[in-house]
Amino acid sequence: MSVDLSTNYLGLRLRSPIVASASPLTGDPAMWEHIEQAGAGALVLPSLFEEQIEHDAFAVDHVLDSGTDAFGESLTYFPELESYDTGPSRHLALVELARQRLSIPVIASLNGTSPGGWVKYARHLEDAGAQAIELNVYNVIVDPHRTASDVERSYVELVEEVRAEVQVPLAVKLGPWFTSLGHLALALEAVGADGLVLFNRLYQPDIDLDTLYVKPRLQLSTSAEGQLPLHWIGILRGFMKCSLAGTTGVHDGADALKLLLAGADVAMTTSALLRHGPDRIATMLSWIEQWMVERDYVSIEQLKGSVSQRNVPDPDVYERANYYQVLHSWKG
Amino acid sequence: MAQAAISSTVRDADVQTRAVVDGNEATARIAHLASEVIAIYPITPASPMGEFADDWSSKGRTNLWGAVPEVIEMQSEAGAAGTLHGAITRGALGTTFTSSQGLLLMLPNMFKIAGELTPTVIHVAARTVATHALSIFGDHSDVMAARTTGFAMLCASSVQEAADFAAIAHAATLDTRVPFLHFFDGFRTSHEIATINEPSEQELAALIDPASITAHRARGLDPDRPMLRGSAQNPDVFFQAREACNPFHASVPAVVQSKMDLLAELTSRRYNLVDYYGAPDADRVIVLMGSGAGAVRETIAELTSTGERVGVAVVRLFRPFPTEALLAALPPSTQTIVVLDRTKEPGAPFEPLHLDVLSALWHSPTESWADGSKPRVIGGRYGLSSKEFTPAMVRAVFDEASKDNPRNKFTVGIIDDVTHNSLTYDPAFTTDHARVRAVFFGLGADGTVGANKNTTKIVGHNTDLAVQAYFVYDSKKSGSMTISHVRFDPEPINSTYLIDRATFVGVHQWDFLERMDVLKVAAPGATVLINSPFPADEIWDRLTVEVQQVIIDRDLRLHTIDAGAVAKAAGLQGRVNTVMQTCFFALSNVLPTAQAIDELKRAITVSYGKRGDVVVQRNIEAVDTTLAELFPVPVGTTVTATKHRRPTLTGAATDFVERVTARMLAGEGDLLPVSALPPDGTFPTGTSQYEKRTIATEIPIWEADLCIDCGKCAIVCPHAAIRMKVYDATELQVDGAEVLKTKSFRSREVPGMSLTVQVAPDDCTGCGLCVTACPAHDKSEVKRKSINLRPIEEHLDTERVAWDAFRALHEADQALWDPASVKTSQLREPLFEFSGACLGCGETPYIKLLTQLFGDHLLIANATGCSSIYGGNLPTTPYSTNDAGRGPAWSNSLFEDNAEFGLGIRLGLDAQQHGALGLLAKLSTGSPALIDPALAAAIAAGVQDGGDTPIREQRERVEQLRDALRAIDDPTATQLLELCGTLVRKTVWIVGGDGWAYDIGAGGLDHVLASGRNVNILVLDTEVYSNTGGQASKATPRGAVAKFASGGKGIAKKDLGLEAMSFGDVYVAQVALGSSDIQTVKALLEAEAWPGVSLVIAYSTCIAHGFDMRQSMTQQKLAVQSGHWPLYRYRPGDEEATTPFQLDSAAPSVPYAEFAGSEARFAMLRRSNPARADELMELAQADVAARWRYYEQLAAVERTAPTHIGTAIIAEAEDEP
């Protein structure tokens, strides 16, 4: 018996619920065919970082100006090149190429720093052919004078501004650190977000014990980290109509399936692909398919959200009580 | 960025093309259009021509015939000339560009090329040939050295003429078969930006006869129609064959004139072989060539308007000399001809042009002159090394010519109080009437020059005004000042001299007002724009007495803006160019302000567009926010200030420094008389200490409680501006000791001593390398290190006192400390301090270390390049002396011959030592012996002993010998007295960059490596020609972008160390201070101790690598970790089973791409051509892996080499009777 693995995400019909999330792998055109053949439902390209574009532009500006016109024998130090590629053009070309080469949907990812930047680059990505845009709201609020409501309002305004300028579906990728995530989620949905991607993982600092330098460090996730998105997707699914994507901690078919059962429309995976290669997607799908067959499920749509907070006999397990139960069951 | 296109030429369909360009660009454009092969080599001030040609070809720009010219960088100008010779021998159209010593290196080929009647053009930005000193500036001493080669020589005197004469030269050479040397004045024309009408491609094509090209190609070497050229001839035929070329040379003047006539038909710009300007009935006529013609013409216009009968004959074609054209050009009324030569030929009866004019007059019939007698001819020299040549000087020349007995062989522009040849002139005389005369004072880093180039372009393209811009640069590479001279006028501008009566003065750094007389150039009523951090109503009270006085005296109108704040608010930290440019337009009314701002924004978009939208937007934002922050400054009517301009010198100085150096530092070098200057180019050392530049905004402040005494801060300092001393605490009685910070010094060998680490606050550049290098952190607050950068204004006063106190402490007794560690090496006095090298320079720490280890017995032969500039560019030198008066003795010969020069110094020393040993033996073995045999034996035994104590003991013995010799009345004793200094060990270090060692000097270096003599070679490898602006050398690594390798260098770097090892008896080390300072110290000590040739290749980070130079040492570490720069030492030995090659760094642990990605020289290629970058990076990674594998194998190879070399001479000397 065959099962229908397709799913609806951001209004797009995906052939499978496993999405290759933004990573160096999805930025490498040589890997695209591999990812597609492995059965990915869609591919999210690496983020276009506005901050990086600005940094690069000023770095080039600085290098080209350093030491120039200061000493009669060496008025400059570098040849003038045709292009320094400081703008988004290379990234946009990547989007265009992905659209040409892939039959699965291509989702662009954007990380802006200025209100104008979000809108401008979202429009560029749409024009380049992205079938959806993931707004990767990736910042750490370090200003202790800024209130939570102010931060949330800025998120909502950002999505509202981008929504007004682009037509393709918008997903918002969030971190988990909100006092009332549900409230924010509803507000984002209300201003036009077509989906939420839960959760972002930040580059967090680490300390080098030899030099005592603080350096950003990104470790690949583990399955255990999948519990946080599972928790929130299970909660949000009950009162949100927009798409939900679970990301972080998706390493095998079981991890992905749990997210779907909790209410995700897709499970996104990065670390597993970096570790094991794109074929991991096929392994996950095969495992899910077998699980479904064994239990007479016919489609992903059938199981999505079936174990969400709303659909479980004891909704409290998604709430604080869960904390007590875990602690009380701990045997040491 | 490359010599960036100053022009954005406005091209009409087929007629005139008005462009704003400098002489180099104007010339290079024609050369590129008219050539198929271009062989190049960088040399100031001609380098930009090669850079333009390379840049254009790399971007696919085609010549007149639709092909992209082949551009190749060679290893030297000799190589470029040889390649050019080959290309044109094959029948291709070829050209090259050069200057000065470069032209001299081309001479042998030029004789050949001319002798073979092969058409080509060499474009020369004429520059001084090095004599008593190197000079990068302009005169005709180089081209005059080429006048015997047989090349035709055509001289342009303006940017317009440089373009036109380049075209004429390329056309005429093909018709005549005589090769052409087209020249114009270095800097004054090569670097002057002006509005010109460029010859269009159609016009150039019309000038060049296709039939001549066909004939040239038909003469090309071709096996399909074989021939032989370059035979060896014997006395029977050589002479006749040499005369066979006469008709070709004879045809040149007529052909050149015909091309000039054709150009006039095409463009209305008329030239003649000799052009006359001035009164038709002139009685006094100047004859000259080059840019000086502009000042002369301007003066003549002024003088003739008052009825004076003066004129000038400007010689365009110098070879073959156009005798008839000159005679035809001179008015019959001429009574006195004054020939002005921009060169000096000691010993000649007259300078060359003067001689030619005399010769021409010899052939002139007496009756052709108005009063029946030939004019008298006098001559003089002017403008050597770009010395200013002004209308005031021209007037003095005409005045001299009016005298009954005028001086001949005079000089003008200097005060000659030795041979009394100089003319006096009235500096107040001026003919400079340009409507806008603006002078801008900027810092090298603040973008002032770039802004003025941009302004010139905007005005040139948007008005009918003629524009002229000329820039004067500093002799320092860090904290340098630039002065821009910009003129705009409705009439063509002939003012080929600096502005001294400015209608507008821009002072782009407040500090300049306090340390220089920047307002001396202001004309009465001039507008002055000051970039100041202070509110307008505070400015007056903050000015010095001198500045207030000049403002009142000349009724100057002041405006101010805090450009730094405006730029910072717009996100342009430190770049005040856009802001100041906007203010200039608003205040100068060259253009309506609104139009100017529109054009400025357009220019910003063009200039910065490639760098990214955000850069454009931030600059536009700066423009938009500027005018609201520009304020007039209320000015007082009387001087109220009490503060005076900062003195040029601080502290006591020598008489020479007071009389000479101080004047140069004050910008008054032009006023020094001949008698003030050493006649042979020999200057005292230790002068940089008097030049207190105070250019840092932050300086390192020592926290004694955290210090671990490691010495790393001192060893990495490029400027010797942070030092450490260990002393007995009882010394803390010196003045100012109360502010000295001190701690106990950790040492088992010498306990109980105190340590101070001290910054020289006025000499520090604030580069921060010491802070980066400091490993000592506060245990509770990691950001607090033992050295921290702090704002200079908070610490300057205290640190000045502390520095003086620190200087007063005794230097460490070197005998107490073994130098073989970083810590102890830094207790030794650096005899190289406060260089003007770039901030974060990677080279200077090595030289400083060299002087710390061997400075009191060190001779340095220094190749031309960065190290000769920061080492020997006046007004001051960083080489200094110790308390005993000893220190490095330094000399620069040339770029190409440095290895041989150093070897010669060694041979000279050895010969003298050999002689001294012989004399010593003679005096100590007679009966009776005049010298104590025991003393003589001890001296002979210690003659090669190195190390502090043996050298000190030998000095003491030699001093005893001196005392004894003085008491002996014997010629042999007198001779030995002169030579006995050589009996103390001296070390010879041959120092230079990779351009010298890998390229132009490689042949000589190879020979010296094979010499077996006791010389040490230090190659400061920046992997690029740093001093001339980042051209590729054979040391440039694969994948790096450099000038002449803008597509990324495709070939791997040469392994110089391996080459040297192949000789077997050469000590070789590869070091990187930032990776292993101790390995560097060891390598230098081992190299010095090695009795034969030693080669130390030192990785030297450079501004041309493209990273934040504060990370200079960290970047060196990364270079080693990535395998880009393995550390090793190769010490040959004669022991059995020796493995002389020792790897001192670990196997590569960082991907090469990570290292490369952190430097713009590699990263730029990834941006512009990712596919090629990937390809080259893959190869580069393979290079690293292959080299490492090879080195690992080398480390296991047993090799036995005889090590007796270097001792042979001594043994020989000892054998002397």
Which amino acid appears at position B1132 of this protein?
Answer: P
Find which of A52, A56, A69 to mutate to test the B interface (most B CBs within 10 Å of its CB).
A69
Q: CA B296 from chain center: how many Å?
A: 29
By Cβ distance, the residue of A67, A69, A82 closest to B59 is: A82
- In sequence order, which residues have a C-beta less than 8 Å from that of residue A118 and are 6 or more positions away? A50, A110, A112, A135, A158, A161, A162
**A149 is written with which tokens?**
């409501």
By Cβ distance, the residue of B448, B1026, B1168 closest to A81 is: B1168
CA distances from B154 to B179, B314, B358, B386 (A): 11, 11, 20, 20
Total Cβ atoms within 10 A of residue B932: 15
A-contacting residues in B 1090-1149 (Cβ below 8 Å): 1103-1104, 1106-1107
Q: Find, among B907, B908, B811, the residue nearest to B855 by Cα.
A: B811
Q: Could A83 and B610 be called an inter-chain contact, meaning their C-beta atoms sit closer than 8 Å? A: yes
Helices (H), B711-821: 712-716, 769-773, 792-808
Look at the alpha carbons of B115, B120, B121, B122 in this order and tell me if their dihedral is positive or negative. Answer: negative
In which residue are the tokens 């779907």 written? A260
* Cα distance between residue B60 and residue A140, in whole Å: 47
Find which of A73, A123, A207 to mutate to test the B interface (most B CBs within 10 Å of its CB).
A73
Q: Could B44 and A71 be called an inter-chain contact, meaning their C-beta atoms sit closer than 8 Å? A: no
pLDDT for B436 equals 97
**Taking a C-beta distance cutoff of 8 angstroms, is the pair B751, B829 a contact?**
no
* Cα distance between residue B434 and residue B485, in whole Å: 12
Q: Which residues of A touch B867 (CB under 8 A)?
A: none
Distance from CA of B1164 to the nearest CA of A (A): 7
* Cα distance between residue B413 and residue B752, in whole Å: 61
List residues of B with catalytic annotation. 44, 77, 127, 1027
Q: Which residues of A touch B480 (CB under 8 A)?
A: 70-71
* Cα distance between residue B958 and residue B917, in whole Å: 12
Distance from CA of B1212 to the nearest CA of A (A): 47
Distance from CA of A30 to the nearest CA of B (A): 14
Find which of B55, B191, B1159, B1164 to mutate to test the A interface (most A CBs within 10 Å of its CB).
B1164
Q: What angle do CA B807, B811, B816 make, to 5 degrees?
A: 160
Looking at the DSSP bridge assignments, the partners of residue B993 are B1020
Which amino acid appears at position B569 of this protein?
Answer: A
Q: Which residues of A touch B1104 (CB under 8 A)?
A: 77-78
Q: What φ, ψ does residue B652 adopt, rounded to 5°?
A: -70, 140
Looking at the DSSP bridge assignments, the partners of residue B759 are B722
B2 touches chain A (CB under 8 A): yes
Which amino acid appears at position B1046 of this protein?
Answer: S
pLDDT for A325 equals 55
First-last CA distance in chain B: 65
In which residue are the tokens 């608010």 written? B569
Find which of A55, A58, A65, A71 to mutate to test the B interface (most B CBs within 10 Å of its CB).
A71
Nearest CA in chain A to B784: A212
- pLDDT class of A83 with cuts at 50, 70, 90: confident
- pLDDT tens digits, one per residue of A120-158: 999 999 999 999 999 998 778 889 999 999 999 999 999
**Interhelix angle for B593-608 vs B448-462, to 10°?**
120
* Cα distance between residue B25 and residue B3, in whole Å: 9
Length of chain B: 1217
Q: Find, among B577, B566, B629, B621, the residue nearest to B454 by Cα.
A: B577
Total Cβ atoms within 10 A of residue B1178: 13
Nearest CA in chain B to A210: B775
- pLDDT class of A320 with cuts at 50, 70, 90: low
pLDDT for A202 equals 74
* Cα distance between residue B126 and residue B856, in whole Å: 40
Question: How many beta-carbon pairs under 8 angstroms link A with B?
Answer: 160
Q: Find, among B895, B904, B1126, the residue nearest to B1027 by Cα.
A: B895
* Cα distance between residue B1077 and residue B289, in whole Å: 54
* Cα distance between residue B956 and residue B938, in whole Å: 11
**B946 is written with which tokens?**
């190195």
Q: What angle do CA B1180, B1182, B1185 make, to 5 degrees?
A: 115
* Torsion-angle region of B383 (φ positive above 0: left; ψ -120 to 50: alpha; else: beta): left
- How do beta strands B754-759 and B787-791 pair? unpaired
This prediction's pTM: 0.93
Task: Return the C-alpha torsion angle B157, B158, B164, B167, nearest 10.
Answer: 70
B1172 touches chain A (CB under 8 A): no
By Cβ distance, the residue of A56, A66, A82 closest to B1103 is: A66
| Mean pLDDT (chain A, rounded) | 91
Q: CA B392 from chain center: how many Å?
A: 30
Which amino acid appears at position B601 of this protein?
Answer: K
pLDDT for B102 equals 98
By Cβ distance, the residue of A71, A79, A86 closest to B480 is: A71
CA distances from B648 to B665, B842, B1079 (A): 7, 29, 41
**Interhelix angle for B948-966 vs B933-941, to 10°?**
140
pLDDT for A323 equals 57
**B935 is written with which tokens?**
């003393």
Nearest CA in chain A to B865: A73
Q: What φ, ψ does residue A183 adopt, rounded to 5°?
A: -65, -45
* Cα distance between residue A199 and residue B867, in whole Å: 56
* Cα distance between residue B165 and residue B289, in whole Å: 13
pLDDT for B9 equals 46
Q: Find, among B1119, B1031, B841, the residue nearest to B97 by Cα.
A: B1031
By Cβ distance, the residue of A59, A79, A87 closest to B55 is: A79
* Cα distance between residue B873 and residue B862, in whole Å: 12
- DSSP per position, A283-321: HHHHHHHHHHHHTT--BHHHHTTTTSGGGSS-GGGGSTH
Q: Which residues of B touch A27 (CB under 8 A)?
A: none
Which amino acid appears at position B22 of this protein?
Answer: D
- pLDDT tens digits, one per residue of B145-156: 999 999 999 999
Distance from CA of A112 to the nearest CA of B (A): 13
- pLDDT class of A33 with cuts at 50, 70, 90: very high
Which amino acid appears at position B1051 of this protein?
Answer: I
Nearest CA in chain B to A75: B1029
pLDDT for A2 equals 81
Distance from CA of B428 to the nearest CA of A (A): 29
- DSSP per position, B201-213: HHHHHHHS-HHHH
**CA gyration radius for chain A?**
22
Distance from CA of B613 to the nearest CA of A (A): 7
Q: Find, among B506, B501, B504, B503, the residue nearest to B483 by Cα.
A: B506
Q: Which residues of B touch A65 (CB under 8 A)?
A: 1, 447, 450, 575
* Cα distance between residue B968 and residue B63, in whole Å: 78
- How do beta strands B1094-1099 and B1067-1071 pair? parallel
B1161 touches chain A (CB under 8 A): yes
Q: Could A78 and B611 be called an inter-chain contact, meaning their C-beta atoms sit closer than 8 Å? A: no
Distance from CA of A157 to the nearest CA of B (A): 23
First-last CA distance in chain A: 44
Q: Which residues of A touch B1027 (CB under 8 A)?
A: 73-74
Q: Could A76 and B448 be called an inter-chain contact, meaning their C-beta atoms sit closer than 8 Å? A: no
Q: Find, among B1040, B1172, B1192, the residue nearest to B1126 by Cα.
A: B1192
- In sequence order, which residues have a C-beta less than 8 Å from that of residue B267 and are 6 or more positions away? B16, B164, B197, B199, B203
Q: Which residues of A touch B1106 (CB under 8 A)?
A: 63, 66, 77-78
Q: Which residues of chain B have pLDDT under 70?
A: 1-16, 1202-1217
B874 touches chain A (CB under 8 A): no
Q: Could B54 and A79 be called an inter-chain contact, meaning their C-beta atoms sit closer than 8 Å? A: yes
- How do beta strands B481-489 and B522-531 pair? unpaired
In which residue are the tokens 């003008």 written? B412
**Interhelix angle for A115-127 vs A50-65, to 10°?**
100
**B1095 is written with which tokens?**
């080669």
